[in-house]
Amino acid sequence: MNRQALTIVVVAIVIAAGLAWSALFTVHQSQQALVLQFGEPIRVVRDPGLQVKLPMVQNVVYMDKRILSIDAPTEEMIAADQKRLVVNAFARYKIVDPLRFYQTVGNVAVAQSRLGTVINSSLRRVVGSAPFAAMLTGDRSALMRQISDLVNHEAAEMGIEMVDVRIKRTDLPEANSLAIYRRMQAEREREAKELRAQGAEVSQRIRSRADRERTVLLAEAKREAEVARGQGEGQSIQIFADAFGKDADFFAFYRSMKAYREALIGSNTTVVLTPDSDFFRFFGSPEGRAQAPAKKP
């Protein structure tokens, strides 16, 4: 009997400990909990720490109360000016009403799926009412506020508060981008050809000016050279005339020596003249007198 009683007591203690353990649960500071009883929400626990629930009857669903993020899928949209663009957005949100969140979406995966749809529809509505240039200028912030307001209105029904919605990237479709790049390339090539043509024109103008100045300088130099040469020849003639007037024989001798030097050039020079030729009169007489003709036998 004592053993049976001890066993019953031990079993009762174990059961009581198990029930006590199952009646306690802990809420982390980054979480919030929803207590369910047979699947029905009973209460929301927002404060961190050790909490109590009915064992075997109630269970706990934990939800994150930190700011969560979601990347919306990339979508191709049409702006108000009928220009196509590819938009990639992201959003940050937090669960502010765990009861409504549990009743409407149940878990984070379903919530993010629905939020992605809401974000894309809001993007299409706002982007479709604005020109393409507004996505690239200072008007983009106002568009972001409009998108955030639309998404926040839809997300409030799910117990979610949108902290921020931002467009991560706005780009043209690949076909449009290639066309724009080709147009930009053609424009740059046109500008390059225009600059080259202007450079060639300036170069030709400089070359023509330099050629004209060169021609003028050469003409002036040639004129000055001719003038100097003429003056020199005049002085030379004057000097020769003065020398001839002073000593005609010396002048004749000098002219003959100059003629010898110019005529007898090289080692193979051959001159055929008569013995009494006046050309060699200085060879026969130092005074330059012509030789007497030889007597006939």
Domain ranges within the chain, ordered by starting residue: 2-64, 68-172, 249-284
pLDDT above 90 for 42: no
Q: What is the pTM of this model?
A: 0.51
Q: What is the pLDDT of residues 253-297, one digit of tens each?
A: 777 777 777 777 766 767 676 766 666 666 666 555 544 444 444
Q: Which residues contact 64 (CB under 8 A, 6 or more apart)?
A: 30, 31, 32, 95, 108
Which whole number is the average pLDDT over 117-143?
Answer: 81
pLDDT for res 26: 85
Average pLDDT, the chain: 80
- Cα–chain-centroid distance for residue 52? 64
What percentage of the chain exceeds 70 in pLDDT?
82
Least Cα distance to 148 among 90, 218, 228 occurs for: 90
19-25 long-range contacts (CB < 8 A, ≥24 apart) are 19/55, 19/56, 20/55, 22/55, 22/56, 23/52, 23/53, 23/54, 23/55, 24/50, 24/51, 24/52, 24/53, 25/50, 25/51, 25/52, 25/53, 25/60
pLDDT for res 289: 53
pLDDT for res 170: 75
Question: How far is the C-alpha of 79 from the C-alpha of 104, rounded, in Å?
Answer: 33
Which whole number is the average pLDDT over 113-132?
Answer: 85
In angstroms and rounded to an integer, the radius of gyration of the C-alpha atoms of the chain is 58
CATH topology for 68-172 is Tetrahydropterin Synthase; Chain A (3.30.479)
Q: What is the pLDDT of residues 202-215, one digit of tens each?
A: 999 999 999 999 99
